[in-house]
Amino acid sequence: MSLPLVFPRILGTLLTAAALLVAATAASTVSAAPSAAAAANSAKLADSDKLTVKLPDVEVLDQEGRKRRFGRDLVAGKRVAINFIFTSCTTICSPLSATFKAMDEELRRQAGPEVQFISISVDPLTDTPAELRKFGRKFDAGANWTFVTGSRASIDAILKAYDVGTGNAEDHSPMVWLGHEPSQRWVRTYGLASHKLLVDRLTSLDKPAPKAAAASAATSPEEAAALDRMRQVASQAAGRAGVQQASPGTRGVEYFTNLPLVTQERPRVRFYDDLIRNRVVLITSFYASCKDVCSPVTHNLARVQEQLQDSVKTPVQLISITTDSGFDTPEVLRDYAERHSAGPGWSFVTGKKENVDWVLHKLGLYNEKPEQHTAVLWVGNDRTGAWLKLHALAPPEAIVAAVRKVL
């Protein structure tokens, strides 16, 4: 929520489920056969990796203080891995950088193709070349790893080209871009995935795409370890999360609005009166065709719902709001809810785009593109005005504990 006195910042984005690979998502899927709506979702995914990047050839500074042209000197003609960091970051930046180091070592072990690693500061006013050089030494960064800073305008142009938000540094994304510029092939994926999987994806960009194969429900040890690491970090962050009290101007129907929306079960709901008023709520965003974090988050919340029913007497309303209202019809959401074992008291919300977007904006969950959504989970008690924010992949026990904090 972008509430001025209540929800000042997303807690370092809390890693936005960075270790949840596509394979980890597959491991979370249920055994029920997908319906026609699910098949349509899968078809939509086919184009999601066909990304294009218009390189901004702006002037930047590297960690040695040298002036470079971002497009011409750092990316053009190269195979690249790009992440987004800042040196005072206390959450995802060091793990992202450690993954880059592991990728570099794996490429050397394989005698793989030459790769240019690029870490772009999202806090250029603080991150001088000297600070970036010091940060790079922590990871024994080699000559093929460039840390980038520069003017705010130059960095913002780069962030825009790679669909990275330009707001608070703490809200930056754990997504990384892997690209083969000569063939104009790019993919965006999670930066804390297994370094071997990232290397495989990066080195295969200029090769013909393999024929699609059925996803395996098995998770490799590396993927399981990465997933466990994410859950540990989310759990630690959940333990630190504190309750904040909503100020008078950020409560009630005047703030949340009663815009008409639709759920998987109801043809019309008023957002505040029918879903939030006097309730304890869990609110997150998702979209049905998401192929990375959404499915694991939804399965996690299904476990939360089960535990709440067993251990908390107060009813808790779960609300999952689509970021892709143009595609996610009530039928699509109904299928999605069934496949993820959502129980009664869990509303999957869609509706007119302008209404859904405004509600997401009020919650601080709006992004121009559905895939840019974050795995933020709001835990709130409308009756008392108590709210807190978690990562939606925090362990179910931690989320249940957070619910108890707001009761």
Residues belonging to the binding site are: 89, 93
d(C-alpha 286, C-alpha 302), whole Å: 14
Evaluate whether 350 touches 262 at the Cβ level (below 8 Å).
yes
Evaluate whether 287 touches 315 at the Cβ level (below 8 Å).
no
Short-list 141, 383, 358, CA closest to 255: 358
Name the binding residues for Cu cation.
89, 93
The single residue listed with the structure tokens 């108590």 is: 386
What SS3 class is residue 321?
strand
Around Cβ 326, how many Cβ atoms within 10 Å?
12
306 dihedral zone (left: phi>0; alpha: psi -120 to 50; beta): alpha
d(C-alpha 398, C-alpha 319), whole Å: 18
Evaluate whether 37 touches 44 at the Cβ level (below 8 Å).
no
| First-last CA distance in the chain | 19
Around Cβ 364, how many Cβ atoms within 10 Å?
18
